[in-house]
């Protein structure tokens, strides 16, 4: 096993395929949505849920509307606004 192949891999050892960075980002988004859904299920009072849902929807809309033209900061704030909007929609969803 001390011999190395020209590609830098040990002889007889297969290369491991790592999941891409996009996969990890999607997995973290799914975990956040699951956490929000669990949080929404914990709130029993419909008025509180409705108020929090509307507040999150307004906050998400403001974040998207006021995102600056700087590409990185603007994109980050826009994605954050979309995430807050989704959280508000999940919170306001009735079963």
Q: For position 73, what pLDDT does the model report?
A: 82
> Does any domain span residue 86?
yes
> Does any domain span residue 57?
yes
> Does any domain span residue 68?
yes
Phi-psi region of 47 (alpha: psi -120 to 50; beta: other; left: phi over 0): alpha
Residues paired with residue 4 on neighbouring β-strands, in sequence order: 10
> Does any domain span residue 10?
no
Q: For position 68, what pLDDT does the model report?
A: 81
The residue to which tokens 């900061």 are assigned: 73
What's the residue count for the chain? 95
Q: For position 2, what pLDDT does the model report?
A: 46
> Does any domain span residue 80?
yes
> Does any domain span residue 11?
no
pLDDT truncated to tens, each residue of the chain (95 aa)? 444 445 555 555 555 566 565 666 667 777 777 776 666 667 778 788 888 888 888 888 888 888 787 878 888 888 888 888 888 887 777 65
Residue 4 backbone phi and psi in degrees, to 5: -115, 140
For residues 68 and 26, what is the distance between their CA atoms, to the nearest angstrom? 25
Number of structural domains (the chain) is 1
> Does any domain span residue 35?
yes
Domain extent for 66: 21-92
């Amino acid at each position: 096993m001390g011999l190395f192949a020209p590609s830098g891999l040990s002889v007889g050892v297969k290369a491991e395929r790592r999941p891409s960075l996009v996969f990890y980002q999607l997995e973290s988004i799914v975990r956040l949505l699951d956490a929000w859904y669990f949080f929404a299920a914990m709130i029993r009072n419909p008025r509180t849920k409705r108020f929090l849902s509307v507040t999150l929807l307004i906050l998400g809309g403001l974040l998207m509307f006021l995102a600056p033209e700087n590409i990185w900061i603007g994109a980050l704030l826009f994605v954050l606004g979309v995430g807050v909007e989704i959280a508000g929609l999940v919170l306001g969803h009735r079963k």
